[in-house]
Amino acid sequence: MPKPAPSLEQLTDRMRTIQLRAIKKKRTVATAESCTGGMLGTILTAHGGSSGFYKGGAIVYDNDAKTVFADVAPDLPARVASSTPTSGLASPASPDPVARRRASRSGSCMWPWTVIAAAP
């Protein structure tokens, strides 16, 4: 049986170690989120001093908004839908191109794109 997902409190506690490591190594993070609705940004900024490593983020839920705010190619939703059993851009096939574009634009070392794949 799989382990249950960690709680928001547990994730926030774990972030403190990652935050301190990022600041020490002079690493920065920016985020792009969809179906998590800003949860990753919330976790990343839960501790004081987060501006020392967190550049900011975007919450882009609708596919049209992803095109405008996250530089997702207009045809990517159709390509993803036809290549995976999940629907829309919240699938394992889409984060890589989005993350690469966002990382290069933000100047960040890391640009996580949250993915929760759901069956149609």
CATH of 8-106, one of 2.30.30.40, 1.10.287.3510, 3.40.640.10, 3.90.950.20: 3.90.950.20
Separation CA 77–CA 4 (nearest Å): 30
State the average pLDDT for the chain.
Answer: 74
pLDDT for the residue numbered 116: 39
State the DSSP H helix or E strand holding residue 68, giving kind and residue range, or none if neither.
helix 63-69
pTM of the prediction?
A: 0.65
- What CA–CA distances, in Å, run from 35 to 3, 27, 60, 91, 113? 22, 26, 8, 10, 10
Find, among 87, 73, 83, the residue nearest to 117 by Cα.
Answer: 87
8-51 per-position pLDDT tens digit: 899 999 989 989 998 999 988 888 787 788 888 899 999 999 99
Residue type, 28: T
pLDDT for the residue numbered 103: 58
Domain ranges of the chain: 8-106
